[in-house]
Amino acid sequence: MSDTCSAEWPDGRVVSFYRALPTSTLPVRADRAALGVIPTAAFQYCEALTSASAYGWYVFAPISFHLQFDGTDVIWTHEGAESWYPLGDEVDAGFAEAFDSIAPEDMRGYAPPFLSHTFTPGIVQVWSGLFVRTAPGWSSLVRPPANIARSQGFEAYEGIVETDRWFGPLFVNVRLTATDRPIAFSTKKPLFQLQPLKRETYAEEHLRSFNVVDGLEAMNTDDWARFRATVIKPNQDPNRRVGRYAAAVRKRPGNDTPEGER
Q: Per-residue pLDDT averaged across 235-258, rounded? A: 67
Of the candidates 124, 140, 136, 110, the one whose C-alpha atom is nearest the C-alpha of residue 202 is: 140
Report whether pLDDT(80) > 90. no
Percent of the chain with pLDDT over 70: 88
User: Does pLDDT of 246 surpass 70?
Assistant: no
Closest CA to 196 of 24, 54, 5: 54
User: Both 10 and 129 in a single domain?
Assistant: yes
CATH of the domain at 33: 2.70.40.10
Instruction: Give 158-167 pLDDT, tens digit per residue.
Output: 999 999 999 9
Same domain as 29, residue 52: yes
The answer to whether residue 258 sits within a structural domain is no
Same domain? 61 vs 134? yes
In a domain, 259, yes or no: no
Mean pLDDT of 220-231: 94
Classify residue 111: in a domain, yes or no.
yes
Query: What sign does the CA torsion over 228, 201, 144, 34 have?
Result: positive
Answer yes or no: is pLDDT of 219 > 90.
yes
**Domain shared by 236 and 118, yes or no:** no
Pair (186, 245) in one structural domain: no
Identify whether residues 247 and 202 lie together within a single domain.
no
Q: How confident is the model at residue 57 (pLDDT cuts 50, 70, 90)?
A: very high
The answer to whether residues 86 and 110 touch, using CB atoms and an 8 Å cutoff, is no
**CB of 87 closer than 8 Å to CB of 75:** yes
The torsion region of residue 35 among left (phi > 0), alpha (psi -120 to 50) and beta comes to: left
Mean pLDDT of 89-106: 92
- Within this chain, do residues 150 and 197 fall inside the same structural domain, yes or no? yes
Better-predicted residue by pLDDT, 124 or 37: 124
Residues of the chain with pLDDT > 90: what percent? 73
* Residue 261 maps to a domain: no
Q: For residue 217, is pLDDT > 80?
A: yes
Shared domain check, 66 and 31: yes
| Domain of 17, in residue numbers | 4-206
Average pLDDT, the chain: 89
Q: Is residue 182 part of a domain?
A: yes
How many other C-beta atoms are found inside a 10 Å radius of the C-beta of residue 81?
11
| Within a domain: 228 | yes
- pLDDT of residue 247 exceeding 80, the answer is no
Residue 80 sits in the same domain as residue 27: yes
Distances (CA, A) of 42 to 45, 54, 246, 257, 260: 5, 14, 10, 16, 15
Looking at per-residue pLDDT, the higher value among 37 and 2 belongs to 37
**pLDDT average, residue stretch 100-127:** 94
Are 189 and 223 contained in the same domain?
no
Both 121 and 240 in one domain: the answer is no
Please check the confidence at residue 249 and state whether its pLDDT lies above 90. no
Taking residues 103-121, report their average pLDDT: 94
Per-residue confidence (pLDDT) for residue 1, from 0 to 100: 38
- Residue 213 resides in a domain: no
Same domain, 182 and 238: no
Model pTM score:
0.85
Pairing assessment for the beta strands 183-185 and 138-143 based on DSSP bridges: unpaired
Among 5, 47, 36, 52, residue whose Cα is nearest residue 193? 52
- The tally of domains found in the chain comes to 2
Looking at residue 44, its amino acid is Q
Q: Is residue 169 part of a domain?
A: yes
